[in-house]
Amino acid sequence: MSESDSTKSSAEPAEPAAMSNAETTPASNAKSTEASNARSTHSLEDHQFGPVTVLFGEKQGKYPQGNSLLIRGSRETVLIDPSLGVIPRRHSLPPIDRLLFSHCHEDHISGAYLFPEIPWHFHELDLPGIQSLEAMMAIYGFPEPTHSYFSKQVVEQFHFKARPDAEGFRDGDVFDLGGVRVHVIHAPGHTRGHCCFLIESGLNPDSSPDSNRDWDRDSGPDERFLFLGDIDLSSFGPYYGDAWADLEDFERTLERLRGIEARWYGTFHHIGVLDREAFLDRLARFVSAIGRREQGLLSYLAEAHDLDEIAAQNFVYSRGKIPTSDAAERRSMIQHVERLVRSGTLRETSPGRWIRTKAA
């Protein structure tokens, strides 16, 4: 889920999915043959970035759509985060050997049902979510009536299909496709098992990834594409509003990602594909949303308030609400409250009411 995308639909115009930078704007002749074929049956765009074909969703992947990745090596072809945009492309895709998922949220699994015969892979911490609908709903942790409303959406709009035999991966695992490798980077915070994938090409197809797992020694940054999943770099900022989300994990993840050098940085949603300079710029703004929310909270707690009152201030959903946003607002803000209590910046005046201990 990326609630940010539906939230900001009226507040921020859609940006080009591939920023107008000479480095990252694909030349028309770089588009794949599949892309040309695909255009004959639907209007969605495919663009090639090194080893990666980005299958853009409608509105450049704005939620509930998303941008999926098709990656072909000499031995295997994988699809990452099959979104709603995969469905109209299903007759023009090459044979797919396996599906990889950045995390178990509805918009990232919605095209997966088309591939019941091939292995599906999730980080082991998100794996339970695909094994049953109830486990998937536990990741969000919505109270009723949101729980019932949203589980219906997950099945009807996002085609949830339980896959009890899905397989787990861990940080550092490598999928070797033959000349192209996909490295797993555990990037928790959005969900417990959220991962990014670093895709590198230009490799000797016969070399073994096991003896050389560090991508810094495998290829130069010019051959690398970092897929960011739902670290979506939107102006909304990080989404850590689910039961399985964690603000401080998210902050550590953002710090780690900043240090990973690649030529291309791709988000699942509409920000699209950026070069390193644009990535660092967007990342800084993305991070700053956390501080903005926390400063808003601290100013408000010059007087004591409880969580209902804090949530009503919309420090997270400042630009309008969607059906699941009340729960997400509360879950986000309680994490800020808890860490400010731990640091001594807030104190509890009576059970469930907090006040600032010093001037903001």
* 320/341 Cα distance (integer angstroms): 28
Residue with smaller CB distance to Zn ion, 127 or 180: 127
* Minimum CB distance to Zn ion, residue 335 (Å): 17
Residue with smaller CB distance to Zn ion, 46 or 107: 107
* Minimum CB distance to Zn ion, residue 25 (Å): 27
**Quick one: CA torsion of 97, 211, 187, 121, rounded to 10 degrees?**
20
Helix, strand, or coil (residue 253): helix
Residue with smaller CB distance to Zn ion, 325 or 345: 325
DSSP symbols for 141-182 = TPPTTHHHHHHHHHHHTT-----TT-EEE-TT-EEE-SS-EE
Residue with smaller CB distance to Zn ion, 72 or 105: 105
Residue nearest to Zn ion (CB): 105
Q: Give me the residues that bind Zn ion (CB under 5 A), please.
A: 1, 105, 230
Residue with smaller CB distance to Zn ion, 163 or 269: 269
Residue with smaller CB distance to Zn ion, 1 or 44: 1
Cα–chain center distance at 124: 16
* Minimum CB distance to Zn ion, residue 193 (Å): 11
* Minimum CB distance to Zn ion, residue 267 (Å): 11
- DSSP state, 250? H
* Minimum CB distance to Zn ion, residue 32 (Å): 27
**H-only helix segments in 205-273:** 215-218, 247-258
* 51/243 Cα distance (integer angstroms): 35
* Minimum CB distance to Zn ion, residue 232 (Å): 8
* 182/201 Cα distance (integer angstroms): 9
* Angle value at C-alpha 252, between 250 and 253, nearest 5 degrees: 60
Residue 35 phi/psi, 5-degree rounding, is: -60, -45
